[in-house]
Structure 1
Amino acid sequence: MLSAFWSRDFLLNRSFLWLLFIVNLLGTIYGYIWYEGQLADTLQHHPLWRIVFVPDSPTASLFFTLTLLYWLFPPRDPNRVAAAGRSVIEALGVVCSVKYGIWAVAMIVAGAWQGAELHWQHYMLMASHLGMAFEALLYYRFMRAGIAALLVGTGWLLLNDTVDYTFGIFPYLADELDDDLPAVRSFTYGLSIFSFAAAWLVWRFRKQA
């Protein structure tokens, strides 16, 4: 009976998709609000173009939310450019959600391990970010994005990593992790590759719809 909750019929049911869309949209909005201080600081001290690379998790959630819209309002007879754009958005929704979902939890746990105090918001963030990673891999089975689109998405992740750690606009860390920045940077790059590998495995073994 539990298998019914993993089925295409249940997961792509319009009522459930609407619920998922609302949850992800609200989470995306909350995420951008969470980054408000860092966005303002970046605008004040950095060139305008770097602002795109600041809000990592909410942008990942935004890509997945847009993917849900494709299922709720499927385009009729899209041209090749529109179809390619959809594939790239889907791929970004997958690899970014997996990467930043795991990254946020890892950084919270690492900070707590070294003595950072945890509040209820941290537990909420860990639950929501794990949900991001899980839902992305769960729904990738039904997406159109293939390996080429995943490579584009992973290229974006690596570019984001490079901009973050070259210009110091990576997400704020607990003070306890300040002396671990080289390890955090290496972990972040590695997680970008892991996210591609995880998505590739789902693509490789997913059942053809």
Structure 2
Amino acid sequence: MSVTYLWSREFLSKRLILWILLISNALGTVYGYIWYGGQLYNTAMEHPWWQLVFVPDSPTASLFFSLALIMLLYPPKQLAGMFFQQLIEALAVVTSVKYGIWAVAMIFAGASQGSDLVWQDWMLVASHTAMAVEALIFVKLFHIRWTALTAAIAWTLLNDTVDYTYGIFPYLPGPLYDHLWAVEGFTYGLTLFSGFVGWIAVKRSLSKPLG
């Protein structure tokens, strides 16, 4: 068996592969929301409730990817369901690439400023790298279109704006709070980069022959 077969649509679309990935992402999503428990509690105590949805960035990205996998396993039949699938897939790609790279970058940026790297950091590096990689690999199975991609980028930019306007961005390594303006700029730029990745996926999808 050729190694390239492991990246083929035929292999990636196997139900066993999709189920393994779904279970892994579902477990990671649950763990991610637990990880954000303290920040969610503090936000609920100190901020309006509507801001809670913008707090757990990475687990929400993982949730979008899990939903996208479910809809690959059980494709919607109705037109509304197909539009919803496109939106979820676009959100899965944009947010998984964005927050996968963002978390790894913040960990190493903090280390470069003197923060200690502990085993949890290495666990987060591995899991968030996997988030970005799996989105880039499985995007070939998705059905993303321009409208869904535009909505996904707009949502992610809104998330960035709420995070840094109201101070509910993910907790950072201590030294990075002195460079918050740079973190904010990097965050917005990474959203646009992730949207560009989604745009490439749309172009590839639209260029595929029908049938």
CA distance in 1, matches of 2:34, 2:96: 18
Distance in structure 2 (CA, Å) of the matches to 1:150 and 1:134? 19
Matched with 1:159 is: 158
Distance in 1, Cα, partners of 2:201 & 2:113: 34
The question of 1:185 aligning with 2:174 is answered no
Q: In the alignment, is the contact (CA less than 8 A) between 1:105 and 1:125 conserved in 2?
A: yes
Tell me, what secondary structure is at the counterpart of 1:141?
A: helix
Aligned to 2:146: 147
1:134 Cα offset (Å): 1.0
After TM superposition, the structure 1 = structure 2 runs for residues 104-119 of structure 1, keeping only pairs within 5 Å, are: 104-119=103-118
Question: Within 2, Cα distance between the matches of 1:66 and 1:111?
Answer: 32
User: How many residues are paired up?
Assistant: 207
CA RMSD in angstroms comes to 1.1
- Deviation of 1:153 after TM superposition, in Å, equals 0.3
- Contact 1:141 1:203 (8 Å CA) reproduced: no
The TM-score normalised by the length of structure 1 is 0.96
Which residue is 1:90 aligned to?
89
Inter-partner Cα distance in structure 1 for 2:177 and 2:48: 24
Map of 1:30 onto structure 2: 31
Bigger shift: 94-103 or 136-145? Answer: 136-145
- Whichever residue aligns with residue 187 of structure 1, its letter is F
Structure 1 segment 38-53 matched on structure 2, within 5 A: 38-53=39-54
**Structure 1 residues 48-99: Cα deviation after superposition (integer angstroms, max 9, x where no partner):** 0000000000000000000100122223x31x22211111111001100000
Letter matched to residue 47 of structure 1: P
Distance 1:104 1:36 in 2: 17
Structure 2 gaps, min length 5: none
Report the AA paired with residue 52 of structure 1: V
Confirm or deny that 1:15 pairs with 2:16: yes
Cα distance in 2 for partners of 1:133, 1:150 equals: 17
What is the distance in 1 between the residues matched to 2:73 and 2:29? 18
Aligned to 2:167: 168
Matched, 1:130 2:129: yes
**Alignment TM-score, normalising by the size of structure 2:** 0.95
Identity of aligned residues (%): 54
